Chain A
């Protein structure tokens, strides 16, 4: 055993250390990838703000929270307040779309439903569909991407061609057609629950190739790396290599693309609702609110602005957070 070199303060006058005088010395610690990423992310104020909004959005859409907020600050989402609306023109009689302490975001034209409460309830639809659809895409995309990239050969060819087929699919037209023919009940699901499940399925299932391609590419390059060769030469089985060597290295790209996919999916849900094939009324959804607003934008602009702003803020928050996360996880991106 050799004794460690003793470094004791005043006796040693090494020149290079002079620059460090006054700097508090700390023992050098090894940092995990996660810690490094967190450190980087912490410095990115914009991404943090995005993340905070995302957390807030998730919080307010939790079961019970939405209802409580609506009970405190609003009215039930389907309750009519016709006394606040001009019966012939259909627009709110109050200023700025009927904004008041009682109706924080004003009221809807025609029947005077509380916009605050409808936007809040609409957030739940958007977040649920956006998050679940992303989960579906990520799971399918990761599984198939890893299989294609790792095994190569005809498996890869088959999966890659399947991806091409899916990418060439006219998704929007297909969803319009499919949502038109779904029945009222299917197993335990009915009404809007079934609609949401179908939306999640369509959006999630048809968007997997985007993430699948990235995972396949990453796997392709990872499997040629030295540490994989090393594991293989030690006799590791394929499942060990995939789960222990490759997947941990894919966590970063999966996280990043998932956060960037969520806003796309939220927009897609809004687009489907806008086209009238999304969530059925009277359940509020942002896209559905926008559709109602299009014919009235010139007479009741607040009706466009409120759900429009909600979509805008949500998508922006997810994108900023996703961008920040990518920068933090991928040092080369800097």
Chain B
């Protein structure tokens, strides 16, 4: 704990000094500092492992202000839920547990190897590892994975999780195992023997391995042990920990070691703490205070500290050394509705006039985010930086009024026009963004009327409803998107494919429906080579910006705090927060 201060003050000869100190530090306080150099420096956890350690024992304390959407691996959709359930659930594939860009890559978990496609990416086959067991010692069978997938069909019981399987698999109008008890009637997954799982898809789909990686929906569930919506309280564990009794929603629960988990079959998880205690329903600032005091190790949602703690962290170098400032996975961009502003020149005028500097400040400057160039954020595999067409990703860039006026003239509206911008009224940053847009566009005669809506209905009924957007003549709005899995498909398809435009909960509020892009989407799912696909994704990204349908804004960065008692901490880009399956504690 004292090391960072010494390091910070002794600038001269820092290398020598730190070598000596980390050597002796590893000896006397026994926190297993391993001397790998990545100990306690600001942002050290973003690129490397802080306090790397194999030391077992201790109690890991996790807390959160609200609660999980569900503790059922088949019914959670939040990234932190999918991160957390790995402590007691193993899936066919999972993210690689390594710091840096490797963490976004899929790695076999229950499966021996990544799924093998056949029939033009319509059939995907997985082979299970031998000797896998549940917490009660019974073997994990292929049929249990088939059952786990089948139960995601019943949106009445599992309504919160992703719905990919029901849309992709070729299972007719199967209603789920609660209404149709005979699992043989579910044709979407075949299990010729106890260790083979075959997925049958309606249409070609190239990224099935990534799909089974991101969620817990392929975590095996024995049909006999399923209790429907109550299963979430004690899912049968296949991972390193198991629930002690039941999880109590809004209160919390305790995880203890699962002795039937075999570390030899699992390179992606460690089993360091003896117990993991989860507290739900805490007050937001209390979570931060306990984190800073070291009585809580992990803030589960992983979205970063609140304003008060943020200021403390950034102004106190001692605390700042224990903070990380990674990209959170979100890109807060601004879609421009192409139906209400059909002329591309008018849209260009908006992008030209945008005051990027004010938007950057609205999200908290260099700690809050990174100026965006492409639509895909840097966490997306294969993403290219892209060229700035009509704007510049530069600190202090205030927009180009002259170019904006030229574009307005080309659009036939030299004196500007009036339109509406919407934002989430309970999000201060988005309000500040909307206000900055209003100020910036007023410089070229574009009059923005700002309208705020509560975030509970915003993406569903206002900005996410094309009918509402049309009726209220909404030209642009604040929006943010994080991919379900970090590839160009996961990021861009829902926000740019014409097919993805739906009547409510529309994730493509710009209603971008470009024949060129639509064709690329139809073709890319048939490509086998990921590098070829990435090329297409970047092409689509360029086209979206070239058409001025999106204003690139800010890639969100979060400010995470890691108490000094936490070991094996690193930022996992696949989840956008620390990796919860490998943490340990000292003492």
Contact = CB atoms under 8 A, between A and B. Distances in A.
Given A78-B435, A296-B307, A299-B311, A183 B358 contact: no
Interface in A165-191: 176, 180, 183-184, 190-191
Contacts of A277: 425, 452, 454
B450 A90 contact: no
Contacts of B472: 183-184
A87 B454 CA distance: 27
A91 interface: yes
A110 interface: yes
A87 B366 CA distance: 8
Contacts of B420: 184
Interface string A74-103: 000010101001011111000000000000
A298 B432 contact: no
A90 B431 contact: no
Contacts of A90: 361, 364-365
Contact of B425 (A82, A276, A296): A276
A10 interface: no
A276 B425 CA distance: 5
Contact of B473 (A180, A184, A298): A184
B457 A180 contact: yes
A281 interface: yes
Interface in A264-310: 275-277, 280-282, 291-292, 295-296, 298-299
B428 A276 contact: no
A117 interface: no
A111 interface: yes
Nearest to A176: B454
B472 to A, nearest CB: 6
Contacts of A184: 420, 449, 451, 472-473
B364 A88 contact: yes
A292 B308 contact: no
Contacts of A176: 454
B367 A88 contact: yes
Identify the interface centre among B366, B367, B425, B438: most chain A CB within 10 Å of its CB: B425
B59 interface: no
Interface in A230-251: none
Contacts of B310: 89, 299
A292 B430 CA distance: 11
Contacts of B450: 280-282
A280 B449 contact: yes
A111 B449 contact: no
Nearest to B367: A88
A291 B420 CA distance: 22
B361 A87 contact: yes
A88 B368 contact: yes
Nearest to B448: A282
A180 B439 CA distance: 24
B311 A89 contact: yes
B307 A276 contact: no
Contacts of B438: 78, 281-282
Contacts of B138: none
Contact of B311 (A91, A280, A282): A91
A299 B435 contact: no
Given A180-B457, A298-B307, A299-B307, A88 B366 contact: yes
B362 interface: yes
B512 to A, nearest CB: 23
A78 B365 CA distance: 20
Contacts of B307: 295-296, 298-299
Contacts of B2: none
B314 interface: yes
Given A88-B367, A111-B432, A277-B454, 19 more contacts: A82-B357, A82-B361, A87-B366, A90-B365, A110-B361, A110-B432, A180-B453, A183-B472, A184-B451, A275-B425, A276-B452, A276-B453, A280-B449, A280-B450, A281-B450, A281-B452, A282-B439, A291-B428, A298-B311
19 contacts: A80-B439, A87-B365, A88-B364, A89-B310, A89-B364, A111-B362, A180-B454, A180-B457, A184-B449, A184-B473, A190-B449, A280-B449, A281-B450, A281-B452, A291-B426, A295-B307, A298-B285, A298-B307, A298-B308
Interface of A: 78, 80, 82, 85, 87-91, 110-111, 176, 180, 183-184, 190-191, 275-277, 280-282, 291-292, 295-296, 298-299
The 8 closest A-B pairs by CB, nearest first: A276-B425, A298-B308, A87-B365, A88-B365, A299-B311, A282-B435, A88-B367, A191-B449
